[in-house]
Amino acid sequence: MAYLHREMNELRSICVYCGSATGVDPIYAGDAVTLAGIFIENEIRLVNGGGSIGLMGVMADAMMSGGGTATGVIPISLKEKEVAHKGMSELIVVPDMHSRKLMMVNMSDAFIALPGGFGTMDEVFETLTWAQLHLHQKPVILYNPNGFYDLLLAQADLMVKEGFLNTASRALLMSTDDIHSLLPLLVSFKPPTSDKWANTRR
């Protein structure tokens, strides 16, 4: 199903943060393939970390085999460890992790996090922090199958309750367990107007 009917701020490139492993449940890899199909149908370019392993590789493979477009961004130090994907539309090798994250943010109109580990969390939270500081106004969403991100979302709610995060900043982190609602939620996102310093204790 094609989702996008957005005149302004169209989602032409979406960065997908995800694991360099596939996880123990086959649903995670299956969802990566399903998301690739959604991207292809909606003519969305995939931007990811450029690896050929884990969910990164699964989604990139599905994009390319389905006739989609995929750009990978990988640091030179990880080019061999993450086995740089040689079949993507474009593979960009950068000097370091910070350059990788900055380039992925600059190249993308929105961000989806599939299940992953510390690296995925690092990417998500740096992207959220930049949004919180108004360095960009692009939507970020967690895809939450099997309740994978339930505890993380509960932690974000606790941060609000304890006065370390305001509600506008909390609203920057969207989530859904329905893979087919990812694009509609990204399209409907409206950036909060208040900043991180509103109604927070220091």
Does the reported pTM lie above 0.75?
Answer: yes
Residue 4 has what pLDDT? 39
From the candidate CATH numbers 3.40.30.10, 3.40.50.450, 3.30.565.10, 3.40.47.10, the one assigned to the domain spanning 13-147+173-187: 3.40.50.450
pLDDT digits (tens, 9 = 90+) for 116-152: 999 999 999 999 999 999 999 999 999 999 999 999 9
How many angstroms separate the Cα of 88 from the Cα of each of 51, 63, 69, 170?
10, 9, 8, 34
Q: Where are the alpha helices (DSSP H) in the chain?
A: 26-41, 54-65, 97-107, 118-132, 150-161, 167-170, 182-188
**Where do the structural domains in the chain lie, given as residue ranges?**
13-147+173-187
pLDDT digits (tens, 9 = 90+) for 61-96: 999 999 999 999 999 988 777 688 999 999 999 999
The label of the residue with tokens 């989806």 reads 112
Task: Pick the closest to residue 49 from 20, 89, 69 (CA basis).
Answer: 20
